[in-house]
Amino acid sequence: MAALAHRLSGVLLALFLPFHFLLLGSALEGADELDRYLRFADSPLVKIAEWGLVSLLCIHLLLGIRVLCLELTHWPHRSEKLRSWILPSVIASMLVGLLFLVRAF
Partner 1 sequence: MSPTDTANELLKVRIWRGREQGRLVDYEIETRKNQTVLDVVTEIQHRLEPTLAYRFACRVGVCGSCAMTVNGRPRWACRTHIKNVVTDNTLTIEPLRNLPKLKDLVCDMAPFIETWQKAGAPFSGTATRHDKPAAVKPDSAMRLAADAALQCINCAVCYSACDVVNWNPDYIGPAGLNRAWTLINDVRHSKRELTFELAFGTGGCGSCHSHGNCTRHCPVELRPSESIAGLKRAAFSGLPEE
Partner 2 sequence: MEKSLFLAQRITAMILAPLAIIHLGLTLFAVQGGLTATEILNRTQGNIGWALFYSLFVVCAAIHAPIGLRHVINEWTVMPRRWVNALVIMLGGVLLLLGLQAVAAVY
Binding mask 61-90 for partner 1 (x = CB under 8 A): ------x--xxx-x----x-----------
What's the min distance (Å) between Cβ of 70 and partner 2? Answer: 11
- CB-CB contact of 54 with 48 (8 Å): no
Amino acid identity for residue 50 in this structure:
E
- CB-CB contact of 73 with 24 (8 Å): no
Between CA 76 and CA 54 the distance in angstroms is: 33
What's the min distance (Å) between Cβ of 31 and partner 2? Answer: 4
Q: Which is nearer to partner 2, 21 or 75 (CB)?
A: 21
